[in-house]
Amino acid sequence: MEALKAQLQALQAKVVELEQRTDAQSDINVSTGQAVENVQKQVAATDAQVKKSSDKLSYKGVNITLGGFLAAESIYRSHNEGADIASNYNAIPYKNVPVGHTSEFRMTARQSRVSMLAQGDVDPNTHLAGYIEADFLGGAQTANQNESNSFNPRIRNVYMTADWDTSGLHLLAGQNWSLITLNSKGMLPRTELTPPQIDAQYVPGFTWARQPQIRLVKDWGKEYWLGISLENPQTTFYLNGNQAKAPVPAIAAGGTLPATGPYSIYNIAGGSGYDSVNTLSLNHIPDVVVKFAADPGYGHYEVFGLGRSFYNRYNGQNHDTWGGGVGLGVVLPLIEKTLDWQFSGMTGKGIGRYGSTQLPDATFSPNGNLAPIKENMLLTGLTWHANSDVDVYLFGGRESESKKDFTAWNKGTVALGYGNPAYNNSGCDIEGSTNCVGNTKDIWQGTAGFWWKFYQGKFGKMQFGAQYSYTKRESFAGQGLVNGVLVNGAASPKATENMFFTSFRYYPF
């Protein structure tokens, strides 16, 4: 019995020793596993950083990112605008001109784009960047499609930025999208959200411009944003009754048309650095945009205000007329990563040049002053991300102007302004007739299309897209023939346009 007890004690001692060894080995295994896991995380982070860095070029501590795409595109329009990939919505022809009875087909590579982003960090808090983007939609006087198709590059965006993380301040100086343009998130450059269409003039109702500016933005935790931008001014005009001159002076005694008098000066021919066939308006105060945006966790929301000054000289004096507008925008992921909805709109007076249809900002009153025209514009659209390779979109937009009409001279019988019911529209539907003023009142469009990314890999991305759009141009009512007699407001000409676009694009970077 004693011998058995001794053997049992010896066995128990060995079991305890083995348990201690097992516990020690388990601790070693856990420690080793944790170390391996940490190393794996470091390797993954390093790989990600290497991959991210491999997309950039480095020069003297500055990271350079190349971008852009090569495009081969086609355009078909049911009525001839004589336009390339950017449609001229306000020139959809009425039936009185021969091109209103012809269609057009073109192929183009001019929307191809190149870009370069240079970024450098002064310190962990201060970040500097410069960005340049260009395409080939410039049209010099020597450019043509007869043989060489030698179209010239043009500036889209060229600007510098400085960002300070601690203070949440962001400075931009140069040419960029106007601050009124809808952003997908926040208020920083390169987050602008354009409709996904092929047409380079976008969709009627989309509010935008690309122009020189100085912008300062403040953010609070990247959740709330407030910005102000001073932007390059320019005014588009409608000359009374489509006359190729400014309005004549104010009414003379007795209400008759004066024989002579000083005409209004509102623009000048292009001088040094500009093409002499172009004109520059006489603006002398920058357009001012103030914008507030919020990203509370679901969706993106923004509101903005625009202030403008219209400037001309008449009867020996300079005159300022004020205009501007207000707008808003919303971007919502209705189904996360599957279905997105966006809406934007703007209303005001003298805002025509900020819309895709380029309706006029202002016309002239009888006393020679500029008269801003009221306008509103709306855009809404859905984008369905069917899968990682296919996006489908459906958009609709409208721009609408109110009439700004006057009568003067000869006892108030001379029609002036924009949308005057006494303008002669009697020949707008008769081919060859010149009796067609046809001031545009409304332009609206519905468009649908898709993008198919048929290759995505280490060599970039290739995609094919197609777009169809239906556009309608409606004029203000003007004079029309009723029983052989001209009657005010009896004729409201309309014009429509069916367009189909295709696009092959290669994004190498």
Return the closest-CA partner of residue 410 out of 252, 173, 202, 283.
Answer: 252
Mean pLDDT rounded to a whole number for the chain: 89
484-502 pLDDT tens trace: 899 998 999 999 999 999 9
Partners of 406 in the β-ladder: 416
The pLDDT, as a whole number, for residue 248 is 43
Chain centroid, CA 156 distance in Å = 11
Return the closest-CA partner of residue 328 out of 296, 376, 287.
Answer: 376
Q: Give the Cα separation of 335 and 449 in Å (integer).
A: 20
As its CATH architecture, domain 67-507 has Beta Barrel (2.40)
CB atoms within 10 A of CB 237: 22
Q: What percent of the chain has pLDDT over 90?
A: 72
Q: Count of alpha carbons within 13 Å of 479, Cβ hemisphere only?
A: 13
245-300 pLDDT tens trace: 334 444 444 433 333 345 568 889 989 988 888 889 999 999 999 999 999 999 99
**What sign has the CA pseudo-torsion 488, 489, 490, 492?**
positive
CB atoms within 10 A of CB 199: 25
The pLDDT, as a whole number, for residue 140 is 76
Residue 207 per-residue DSSP state: B
Radius of gyration over every alpha carbon of the chain, rounded to an integer in angstroms:
32
443-474 pLDDT tens trace: 999 999 999 999 999 999 999 999 999 999 99
Question: The tokens of 372 are what?
Answer: 């801003």
CB atoms within 10 A of CB 251: 18
54-64 pLDDT tens trace: 678 998 889 99
349-369 pLDDT tens trace: 999 999 999 999 999 888 888
169-219 pLDDT tens trace: 999 999 999 999 999 999 999 999 999 999 999 999 999 999 999 999 999
Under the banding of pLDDT at 50, 70 and 90, the label for residue 332 is very high
Residue 73 has pLDDT above 70, yes or no: yes
Q: Give the Cα separation of 160 and 172 in Å (integer).
A: 6
By mean pLDDT, which of 75-79, 238-242, 274-278 is the weakest? Answer: 238-242
The pLDDT, as a whole number, for residue 407 is 86
Report the DSSP pairing between strands 279-281 and 440-457.
unpaired
Residue 360 per-residue DSSP state: -
